[in-house]
């Protein structure tokens, strides 16, 4: 029986992949951090997760793609931009054999930051 250990942080998560995948994961990580410098990095659902007044985004590496999770609202807001990718309700698959759409990832993270800050401000007014 193989035991899988959940990484304790994003560095451990990235270290568990082949070098070429690590490079892509680091690009995605740097893009998210640049777009949301105040976000907290953590591991949630065994995936790198960024939180700022709630969850912003998750990402994860798979054999042939990077899964990016900007929650359903991120997918709805960017439906035209993500139309060329395989998508789920709150997920997008960015193929590893294509350049990562870092500008799109940055826009989606910025959108989620604004969304979370607005929600937090609304809660504060109640």
Mark 40-54 as b/e (b = at least 16 C-beta within 10 Å). Answer: eeebeeebbbbbbbe
Instruction: Name the domain count of the chain.
Output: 1
Per the CB < 8 A criterion, the answer to whether 49 and 31 are in contact is no
In a domain, 4, yes or no: no
Per the CB < 8 A criterion, the answer to whether 50 and 36 are in contact is yes
In a domain, 3, yes or no: no
In a domain, 115, yes or no: yes
Q: Give the residues across from 61 on adjacent strands.
A: 66
Q: pLDDT tens digits, residue range 9-50?
A: 999 999 999 999 999 999 999 999 999 999 999 999 999 999
CATH of the domain at 58: 3.90.1150.200
Residue 48, classed as helix, strand or coil, is strand
For the chain, the maximum distance between any two Cα atoms, rounded to a whole number of angstroms, is 52
Q: 50 lies in which domain range?
A: 10-121
Candidate from 60-64, 65-69, 86-90 with smallest mean pLDDT: 86-90
How does residue 4 score in pLDDT terms, banded at 50, 70 and 90? low
Closest listed residue to residue 37, CA positions, set 115, 109, 117 = 109
Q: How far is CA 103 from the centre of its chain?
A: 13
Q: pTM (2 decimals)? A: 0.92
In a domain, 5, yes or no: no
Distance CA 85, CA 89 (A): 13
């Amino acid at each position: 029986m193989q035991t899988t250990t959940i990484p304790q942080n994003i560095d451990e998560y990235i270290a568990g992949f082949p070098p070429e995948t690590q490079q892509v994961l680091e690009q995605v990580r740097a893009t998210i951090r640049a777009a949301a410098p105040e976000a907290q990095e953590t591991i949630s659902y065994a995936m790198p997760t960024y939180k700022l007044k709630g969850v912003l985004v998750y990402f994860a590496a798979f054999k042939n793609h990077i899964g990016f999770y900007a929650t359903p609202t991120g997918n709805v807001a960017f439906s035209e931009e993500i139309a060329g990718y395989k998508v789920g309700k709150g997920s997008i698959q960015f193929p590893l054999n294509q350049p990562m759409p870092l500008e799109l990832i940055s826009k989606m993270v910025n959108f989620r930051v604004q969304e979370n800050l607005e929600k937090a401000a609304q809660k504060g007014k109640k």
